[in-house]
């Protein structure tokens, strides 16, 4: 991997914090942030470096060679950023989702629209196969966003499975790991566990995430190695289809109580001009433009790495 200085690792830590903030929000993927900030393929490659051969390197060549082959400095800076963001922003994001949903979703909508442009630019060859794969990815993501959430479940085996499935979505641009937790009915349990420092639940979900991460990263690495153009088309479609979930103005059609939390079961996107109450149009547009601009700023930082 690359030789980096301290400033480079600070930038990676900040990118990790951006990934963590995105992953807390149902509808936004940390994988999207990783992709547009220029670290996605390195992240997938580094995860795939964790194997039996790495343990042999530790045994035969020592800790320094092990750490270098692992790309340990990169992973440590990134995971530290994600951890800081999740622990510090989970409560704030949860509050914003309940009290200021339109400005929050507007910011992420602008961010995701810009991500579609940047990821789409990476597709080097537009042909029928790429177009069909993009449409398929968009359709899958759109379908996922229309699924109703499940009842909240707190059993440890189920939370392990939830962690495994959520992390697979989390590293896919466009498909939100947090939203997968909502669909599985585990989102409130996990968010409460983070707030309350419930280590039993946090560790269980974490172990599930580790299992899912190492399993799924191998598939992604293979796809990028053998079918990079089509993989990029698929990921662009995933991001495009996810826009349905994060449109800021919605009409709630059906809700349900999960414990003490009200979860929307069914809603539909509407025009801001048909929104009951204050559509916050000016602030929504400004925050959408901020999110849109931020993606291109991250791209410039990635180009200078």
Nearest to 118 by CA among 37, 10, 52, 40: 37
In sequence order, the β-bridge partners of residue 262 are 257
pLDDT for position 261: 58
* Residue 230 contacts residue 129 (beta carbons within 8 Å): yes
pLDDT at 284: 92
Does the model's pTM come out above 0.85? no
**Alpha-carbon gap, residue 150 to 168, rounded angstroms:** 19
Residues in the chain with pLDDT values less than 70: 1-2, 26-28, 90, 148-154, 174-176, 254-266, 298-299, 301-305
Phi and psi angles of residue 138, each rounded to the nearest 5 degrees, phi first:
-65, -40
In sequence order, what are the residues at sequence separation of 6 or more whose Cβ sits closer than 8 angstroms to the Cβ of residue 121? none
Residue whose pair of structure tokens reads 């996922």 in the numeric block:
144
Is the sign of the CA dihedral 240, 102, 181, 168 positive or negative? positive
Query: What does the angle CA 136 – CA 142 – CA 143 come to, to the nearest 5 degrees?
Result: 90
Per-residue confidence (pLDDT) for residue 282, from 0 to 100: 92
- Maximum Cα interatomic distance, the chain, rounded to a whole number of Å: 67
Q: Please list the residues that pair with 110 across neighbouring strands.
A: none
Return the number of other C-beta atoms located less than 10 Å from residue 62's C-beta: 10
Residue showing tokens 């992709």: 35
Predicted pLDDT of residue 304: 56
- How many residues are listed for the chain in this entry? 305
CB 108 within 8 A of CB 21: no
């Amino acid at each position: 991997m690359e030789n980096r200085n301290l400033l480079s690792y600070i930038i990676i830590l900040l990118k990790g914090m951006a990934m963590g903030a995105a992953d807390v929000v149902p509808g936004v993927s940390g994988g999207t942030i990783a992709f547009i900030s220029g670290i996605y393929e390195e992240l997938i490659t580094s995860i795939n470096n964790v194997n039996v051969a790495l343990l042999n390197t530790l045994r035969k060549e020592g800790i320094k060679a092990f750490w270098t082959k692992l790309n340990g400095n990169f992973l440590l800076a990134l995971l530290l950023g994600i951890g800081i963001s999740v622990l510090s922003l989970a409560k704030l994001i949860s509050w914003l989702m309940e009290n200021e949903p339109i400005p929050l979703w507007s910011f992420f909508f602008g961010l995701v629209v810009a991500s579609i442009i940047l990821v789409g630019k990476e597709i080097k060859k537009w042909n029928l196969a790429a177009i069909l794969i993009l449409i398929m990815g968009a359709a899958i993501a759109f379908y996922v966003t229309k699924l109703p959430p499940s009842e909240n479940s707190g059993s440890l085996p189920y939370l392990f499975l939830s962690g495994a499935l959520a992390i697979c979505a989390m590293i896919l641009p466009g498909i939100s790991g947090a939203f997968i937790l909502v669909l599985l009915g585990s989102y409130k349990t996990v968010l409460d566990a983070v707030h309350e420092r419930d280590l039993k639940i946090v560790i269980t979900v974490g172990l599930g995430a580790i299992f899912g991460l190492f399993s799924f990263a191998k598939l992604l690495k293979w796809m990028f190695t053998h079918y990079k153009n089509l993989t990029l088309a698929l990921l662009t479609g995933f991001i495009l289809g996810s826009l349905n979930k994060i449109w800021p103005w919605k009409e709630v059609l059906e809700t349900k109580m999960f414990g003490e939390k009200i979860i929307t079961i069914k809603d539909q996107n509407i025009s801001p001009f048909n929104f009951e109450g204050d559509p916050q149009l000016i602030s929504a547009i400004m925050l959408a433009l901020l999110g849109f601009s931020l993606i291109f700023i991250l791209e410039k930082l990635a180009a200078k790495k």
